[in-house]
């Protein structure tokens, strides 16, 4: 067995702290990745590369080129 067996309350507190650290890490990772993806997208749009989901306004109004 690894370590010393702790009482019930100590175990519960330790698990909650560990869970909080893991969840906080996942939230931080998600926020940082979102910012990175948003920055990369803005760089691509600055180069003139647009998203495929962007529909020209002429198409929406029914006008043809």
Q: Which residue has the tokens 């979102």?
A: 34
Q: Which residue has the tokens 């010393």?
A: 4
In eight-state DSSP terms, residue 55 is -
pLDDT digits (tens, 9 = 90+) for 6-28: 678 888 899 999 999 999 999 99
3-class state of residue 58 by DSSP: helix
Contact 24, 31 (CB under 8 A): no
pLDDT of residue 22: 98
């Amino acid at each position: 067995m690894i370590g010393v067996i702790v009482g019930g309350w100590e175990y519960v507190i330790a698990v909650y702290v560990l869970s909080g650290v893991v969840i906080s890490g996942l939230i931080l990772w998600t926020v940082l990745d979102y910012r990175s993806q948003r920055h990369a997208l803005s760089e691509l749009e600055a180069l003139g590369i647009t998203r495929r989901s962007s529909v020209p306004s002429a198409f929406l109004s029914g006008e043809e080129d």
